[in-house]
C-alpha cells in the first residue's frame, strides 16, 4: 500500500514536471531567446526561434531584421537578403535595415543598377500608403472640380490648384502601380542556381545566378518559375531556389 502511494506521488510529480517543460514559450520569451542565441553566436538557434515566431503569424519588421542578421552570420546570404527585403517592405524608412541590406549585398559582390527617378520616388512609401494617397487626392480632386463647377469659390480661379491636385493624384497612382509590380519581386536563396532554357532539371543552363540576386517572377509552370533578372535575362529556375519577397 505504501509502495503504491509512493508510485502515485512520483508519477504525479513527473507528470507535473513534464507539463511544465512542454509549456510553450510566449512570443516575448521566444523573441528574447532568439536575441540571446544571436548574441552568444548560436545563429542556427536564433534562426530557428525567429522562424517559429513567423510560423505563428508573428511577423514584424524587427523580427525579419533579426532573422536576416542571423542568416547573414550563419552564411546564408540568400536568406539574409530575402529577409532584409521583407523587413524593408514593412518598414521602408528604417535606416538600419537599408544599411544592413546594402552592406550584405556589397559583401556578397551583388550590386544593383541605380534606380531610375520614378522608382526612387515610388520607393519613398509602401504600396498601402500610395494607394491611400491616390484615394485621398482623388477625393480632393472631385471636391475641387465640384467647387469650380458650382462656382462656390466666387471669382477666385482655382484651376492652378486643380492642376496641382491632378499632378499629385497622377504621381500617387503611378507610384502605387510601380510598387504593386514588386509583388513579383523574388530573391535567389540557393548558392548555385542555374537559369535554364526550359522548365526541366536537365535543361541547358544559360547562366548561374548568385545567392541573393533579385529577380522578378513572370509566371509559374509546375515546379519552376519563369523569371527575369535585373539585367533583363530571362529563363527558368526551380521553385526551391527562389522565394518571393511578398509570400503568396
Which CATH number does the domain housing residue 6 bear? 1.25.40.10
Grid cell 522578378 — which residue?
A: 216
CA dist 168 and 137 (Å) reads: 7
CB-based burial, 2-11: b 16+ in 10 Å, e otherwise? eeeeeeeeee
HEC-encoded secondary structure of the chain: CHHHHHHHHHHHHHHHHHHHHHCCCCHHHHHHHHHHHHHCCCHHHHHHHHHHHHHCCCCCHHHHHHHHHHHHHCCCHHHHHHHHHHHHHHCCCCHHHHHHHHHHHHHHCCCCCCCCHHHHHHCCCCHHHHHHHHHHHHHHHHHHHHHHHHCCCCCCCCHHHHHHHHHHHHHHHHHHHHHHHHHHEEEECCCCEEEECCCCCCCCEEEEECCCCEEEEEEEECCEEEEEECCCCEEEEECCCEEECCCC
Report the number of distinct structural domains present in the chain. 3
What pTM does this model have?
0.75
pLDDT tens by residue, 168-200: 888 988 888 887 777 889 999 998 899 999 999
Residues 6 and 102 occupy one common structural domain: yes
Residues 16 and 90 occupy one common structural domain: yes
Residues 154 and 98 occupy one common structural domain: no
pLDDT tens by residue, 13-71: 555 554 444 567 788 888 889 999 999 999 999 999 999 999 988 889 999 999 999 99
CA dist 182 and 154 (Å) reads: 45
Task: Give the residue numbers spanning the domain of 123.
Answer: 119-182
Q: Which positions ≥6 away from 32 have C-beta within 8 Å?
A: none
Residues 150 and 218 occupy one common structural domain: no
pLDDT tens by residue, 213-229: 999 999 999 899 999 99
Residues 84 and 124 occupy one common structural domain: no
The residue among 148, 173, 175 whose CA lies nearest residue 163 is: 148
* Final residue belonging to a domain, choices 55, 73, 108: 108
Domain presence at residue 237? yes
Residues 41 and 100 occupy one common structural domain: yes
pLDDT tens by residue, 125-172: 777 888 899 899 888 888 878 777 766 555 566 777 788 888 988 898
CA dist 81 and 211 (Å) reads: 9
Domain presence at residue 114? no
Domain presence at residue 228? yes
* Final residue belonging to a domain, choices 108, 134, 160: 108
* Final residue belonging to a domain, choices 150, 182, 214: 182
Domain presence at residue 222? yes
Residues 178 and 203 occupy one common structural domain: no
C-alpha cell at 106: 556589397
Residues 63 and 13 occupy one common structural domain: yes
Residues 89 and 14 occupy one common structural domain: yes
Residues 97 and 193 occupy one common structural domain: no
End-to-end alpha-carbon separation of the chain, Å? 62
Looking at per-residue pLDDT, the higher value among 180 and 90 belongs to: 90
Q: Over the Cα atoms of the chain, what is R_g?
A: 26
Residues 100 and 43 occupy one common structural domain: yes
Domain of residue 200, CATH code: 2.30.30.40
Residues 161 and 83 occupy one common structural domain: no
Q: Which positions ≥6 away from 217 have C-beta within 8 Å?
A: 184, 186, 225, 226, 227, 242, 244
Amino acid at each position: 500500500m505504501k509502495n503504491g502511494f509512493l508510485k502515485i506521488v512520483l508519477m504525479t510529480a513527473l507528470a507535473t514536471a513534464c507539463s511544465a517543460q512542454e509549456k510553450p514559450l510566449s512570443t516575448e520569451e521566444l523573441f528574447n531567446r532568439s536575441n540571446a542565441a544571436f548574441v552568444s553566436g548560436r545563429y542556427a538557434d536564433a534562426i530557428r526561434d525567429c522562424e517559429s515566431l513567423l510560423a505563428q503569424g508573428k511577423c514584424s519588421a524587427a523580427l525579419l531584421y533579426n532573422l536576416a542578421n542571423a542568416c547573414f552570420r550563419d552564411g546564408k546570404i540568400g536568406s539574409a537578403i530575402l529577409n532584409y527585403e521583407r523587413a524593408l517592405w514593412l518598414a521602408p524608412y528604417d535606416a538600419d535595415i537599408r544599411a544592413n541590406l546594402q552592406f550584405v549585398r556589397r559583401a556578397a559582390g551583388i550590386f544593383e543598377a541605380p534606380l531610375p527617378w520614378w522608382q526612387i520616388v515610388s520607393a519613398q512609401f509602401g504600396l498601402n500608403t500610395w494607394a491611400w494617397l491616390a484615394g485621398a487626392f482623388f477625393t480632393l480632386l472631385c471636391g475641387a472640380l465640384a467647387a469650380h463647377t458650382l462656382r462656390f469659390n466666387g471669382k477666385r480661379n482655382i484651376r492652378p490648384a486643380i492642376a496641382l491636385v491632378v499632378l499629385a493624384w497622377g504621381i500617387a497612382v503611378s507610384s502605387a502601380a510601380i510598387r504593386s509590380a514588386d509583388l513579383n519581386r523574388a530573391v535567389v536563396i540557393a548558392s548555385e542556381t542555374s537559369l535554364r532554357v526550359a522548365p526541366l532539371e536537365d535543361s541547358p543552363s544559360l547562366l548561374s545566378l548568385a545567392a541573393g540576386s533579385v529577380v522578378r517572377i513572370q509566371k509559374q509552370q509546375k515546379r519552376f518559375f519563369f523569371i527575369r533578372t535585373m539585367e533583363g535575362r530571362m529563363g527558368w529556375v526551380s521553385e526551391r531556389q527562389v522565394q518571393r519577397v511578398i509570400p503568396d
